Chain A
């Protein structure tokens, strides 16, 4: 009996020596895993054009019906993305999203990616609807904003060459 009681005491005392495992959250944050599924990000090409072509496949794949996409026509004077069309409206309701990543799988251009931001909090239900402005990643440099004026006949192909994911 004494042996068992002593072992119990020893187990807890070992914890004191090992020290706490707590992460002091707001000050220190843990690195997320490579395939972590956080808040969505709409990606751009290196030349600043948006990858999203407004095909609505993500909205179709979404099991929670959280995504709403509305497409408009591209012109060479006002070009947002390669190919014919771009997403003029892109909204994700973060209260509906279940972070399954099906939108990421469905996307033909790798435009929508689940990022590493998990700090989503709102004080209003309307704030939970993320629009294209908040989802789109920043431009590589100041002259590469969209819409761009481009040479006609260059960006005709909407779906790029893609490779298998590395991680």
Chain B
């Protein structure tokens, strides 16, 4: 056995896990501060300099909080559900490349925990595990609201998973590979957002629905079903759900950056490979900021509209865009490379048509 490789994996996994755990803490801080600014407030600024220690205070509070388990709950599943939600949110980040290979003590080290040649497939499969935790949490709580939250979540995630998969297919087609490293390397000539902006927006909407963020946070709609699937959870078990949600936010932002925003690519990346994680973090930071901005701005959409939007608008649009991408690549290869520009033009037209149709549907008089 190659012992240095073994240690390399362990160290990289540890670094990734710690980055995600601390990143979760500072993401809550970032969200609270930025959300406060968007609402003319200041946000937490008391604990530590500029409130930077606020998340630690919250963590300590949650750890020492009393944990209640409902008497009629299914104890084992109730206990396992937060773990099942939490673990995939870190595991999903294993295949994300954080930078090009670097030389450490004479060894060539890749800046990803695992360079899987079917990376995108891995992302898809792990992303769909997360729904189990939420459904099981809703079911084992033995509470109507929790059950409804869990069911909503499963329906929503399964619906938007198709769209998510199709928009990942766009990146696979453009990168001509399923390996995330190769998809990133294929973006050296131009990020995929330039070639396929509509695909990126579809991906972004689908991921926001997938991680149950506003305006698609139906599973935990406070006004309707109190807190949804985690209503019976308190203390550290609740913190695990919270953690999972925010780590999923980081993970999907990283995936979006990898698939459409050029991943770790940026000026000077070839001479300084350590800049890779920096570029990734900047891109993740911007995408998270947009998520928070959207949360502050838009109201939650109604559940039946969420479903009809997912099935009647997003899925056909994603299919169309995949078709356009495939045909465009084929034409570019067979006829003329300039025909590549048919992809953004045609897909923008398709996107414009879709928004037009949604607009008409909304403005219809008998639209309930």
**Which residue numbers of A lie inside 8 Å of B, CB to CB?**
1-2, 5, 8-9, 11-13, 15-16, 18-22, 24
Contact = CB atoms under 8 A, between A and B. Distances in A.
A21 B40 contact: yes
Interface in B343-368: 355, 358-359, 362
List the 8 shortest-distance A-B pairs measured between CB atoms, nearest first.
A8-B297, A12-B38, A22-B42, A1-B359, A12-B297, A12-B296, A20-B42, A15-B40
B36 interface: yes
A20 B297 contact: no
Contacts of A15: 37-40
B298 A5 contact: yes
Contact of B355 (A2, A18, A24): A2
B297 A18 contact: no
11 contacts: A1-B359, A2-B355, A9-B294, A12-B296, A12-B297, A13-B38, A13-B293, A15-B37, A20-B37, A22-B42, A24-B42
B41 interface: yes
Contacts of A2: 355
B40 A18 contact: yes
A2 B41 CA distance: 27
Chain B binding surface SS class: helix
Nearest to B45: A24
Nearest to B35: A12
Contact of A20 (B41, B296, B355, B359): B41
Given A5-B298, A8-B297, A9-B293, A20 B358 contact: no
A13 B36 CA distance: 11
Contacts, number: 39
Interface in B149-200: none
A16 B37 contact: yes
A18 B37 CA distance: 9
Interface string B277-299: 00000000000000001101110
A46 to B, nearest CB: 45
Given A13-B293, A16-B38, A19-B40, 10 more contacts: A1-B355, A1-B362, A9-B298, A12-B296, A13-B38, A15-B37, A15-B38, A20-B36, A20-B40, A22-B41
A12 B362 contact: no
Nearest to A8: B297
Contacts of A13: 38, 293
Interface string B31-62: 00000111111100000000000000000000
A21 B42 CA distance: 8
A11 B294 CA distance: 11
Nearest to A5: B298
B336 to A, nearest CB: 33
A21 B43 CA distance: 11
A121 to B, nearest CB: 19
Contacts of B36: 20
A20 B359 CA distance: 34
B298 A8 contact: yes
A20 B38 CA distance: 9
A166 B297 CA distance: 47
Contact of A12 (B39, B355, B358, B359): B39
B362 to A, nearest CB: 6
Contacts of A1: 355, 358-359, 362
Contacts of A19: 40
Nearest to B37: A16
Contacts of A9: 293-294, 297-298
Nearest to B38: A12
A95 B359 CA distance: 57
B361 to A, nearest CB: 9
Contacts of B293: 9, 12-13
A22 B42 CA distance: 6
Interface centre among B37, B359, B362 (most CB of A within 10 A): B37
Contacts of B359: 1
A73 B362 CA distance: 81
A24 to B, nearest CB: 8
Nearest to A24: B42
Contacts of B358: 1
Nearest to A6: B297
B292 to A, nearest CB: 10
Contacts of B362: 1
A88 B298 CA distance: 63
A100 to B, nearest CB: 33
B66 to A, nearest CB: 26
B37 A11 contact: no
Contacts of A22: 40-42
Nearest to B360: A1
A8 B362 CA distance: 17
A20 B298 CA distance: 20
